[in-house]
Structure 1
């Protein structure tokens, strides 16, 4: 499941970042709900951690492949960039809310992905993920469907530590 998921997520990451030539991802290690992966691209090695939701709401809709990813791109000077990836296009004027325990972060939407609205909050979000127990992601599809995804944060710290020295 995670291998197929990581290949799908890699394709989405590459499409959203405009990277044309990259190798298939290699799973470094699985840490409970989070896997650590890497691949080579034109800009060097890219490392990321990835998880899939433990629950999806509403249950009666096709959500597609849903992921939450935190990426390291040392060659592009990007460190621990959180990204929500949906299996559907989101409403363009909407925001995605990520709640980690009791702290909420706002993400901006572009097509089927979302990133932290205020990049200065990325380290705080990653720190909250490391310290947290669960994470909830709320989004609105282009059709107007309100969706909620629940993620376990079990293993996130070990997975992030594994990609810390990504080179």
Structure 2
């Protein structure tokens, strides 16, 4: 299973376009960006709670032939044994997780998550933090489909 944790991104939506990143647009709560030097393209959003350091992203890396990979940066460090569950509309997905990052377990799950994102109004990632307290990062999905499509188009010709 090849998962990339390469989304080391600035968390401010305004500051994301700086330093070799091209803004492909901001669509409601989601932004789309291209980094031609890497190359990579991604759609990204912060949780509804703006205090959070977390983010949700859907990225593509043309050189690695990876497209539509879902990635979450959790707002808190996760307890080592805690499951990470993504709820998108009425769909539920179990994610693979590190201490602060989580991904779909495979490309098929990435595709199912993105399909669910296209028709839902919100999604939340829930787990327990290092102190054992449950928490959830919630994301508005207005603009997500357009941002995901813009990012995919932004990388269509990059190699």
Query: Pairwise CA RMSD of aligned residues?
Result: 2.2
Q: Give the Å deviation of 1:93.
A: 2.1
What's the CA shift string for 1:33-81, capped at 9, x where partnerless?
A: 100012134xx4100011111148xxxxxx6411011111111111111
Aligned to 1:19: none
Determine helix, strand or coil for the equivalent of 1:90.
coil
Determine helix, strand or coil for the equivalent of 1:164.
helix
Q: Give the Å deviation of 1:3.
A: 2.3
Aligned to 1:28: 24
Q: After TM superposition, which residue ranges in structure 1, 4 or more long, deviate above 6 angstroms?
A: none
Q: Which has the higher helix share?
A: 1
**In the superposition, relative to structure 1, how do residues 134 and 75 fare at CA in structure 2: closer, same or farther (>3 Å)?**
same
Q: Which has the higher strand share?
A: 1
Q: TM-score, normalised by structure 1?
A: 0.77
More displaced, 70-79 or 83-92?
A: 83-92
Determine helix, strand or coil for the equivalent of 2:39.
strand
Counterpart Cα distance in 2 of 1:115 and 1:72:
14
* Structure 1 gaps, min length 5: 8-22, 57-62
Aligned to 1:161: 149
- Choose the corresponding residue for 1:105, options 77, 89, 93: 93
- Choose the corresponding residue for 2:13, options 2, 12, 16: 2
Counterpart Cα distance in 2 of 1:40 and 1:110:
27
